[in-house]
Amino acid sequence: MASPPHQWAGKTSRVIRARKIGLKLDPLSLILLYQDGEVKVRKRFMPIRNLKSQADPWARAEELKLRHMTYLAAVPTVILTKLISIAQQVMIGLDVDEAVRQVTQRFSVDVERDLNVVSEPELKRQKELMELTFISNVIGPSDPRFVYDKQVAFHRPDRVSDWDEDNSE
């Protein structure tokens, strides 16, 4: 006897792994490709309702994450914030390419910025951006570029720094 489709009431937790997330502008919604269980890849549309161009994109991202917790729990808030910011830029009249360029520039890690003097939300955003950059650059054992026990010879520093333990040059 076949089980009825969509029998989720008996399950206590679903394993949802987000694969890709994108933005659809008309009607305004997020598109999520995710893996449900071991094999099935599914697509879900999540509408972004009543978005105003002056709304706080971080707060709207948090709202979306709460509304669609099952699907967006593993998606970093900074990614959702970036997509909402792109939608807001398009709403005020920019074309999609220009909106993506401006938002990408705003959502990049600023290595020259002193993070000791920024606000808490800005610090949190910068930390999430750094975490995403780190994750995208990780080379794990399953990666073909992975080298076990890699040793690198670094050049001598060209100037003395307060951070150096051994200042003997």
**pLDDT at residue 164 in the model:** 66
**pLDDT at residue 13 in the model:** 62
**pLDDT at residue 100 in the model:** 92
**pLDDT at residue 166 in the model:** 59
Nearest residue to 48 (alpha-carbon basis) of 21, 78, 94, 87: 87
Q: Report, as ranges of residue numbers, the positions in the chain whose pLDDT lies below 50.
A: 1-12
Helix (H, G, I), strand (E, B) or coil at 31: strand
**pLDDT at residue 6 in the model:** 43
Which sequence spans correspond to the domains of the chain?
A: 51-136
**pLDDT at residue 2 in the model:** 38
Beta strand 28-36 pairing with 16-25: antiparallel
Nearest residue to 131 (alpha-carbon basis) of 54, 83, 75, 92: 75
Residue with tokens 């003097």: 117
pLDDT digit string, tens, across residues 92-118: 989 999 999 998 888 888 788 888 998
Q: 81 near 48, Cβ under 8 Å?
A: no
**pLDDT at residue 98 in the model:** 93
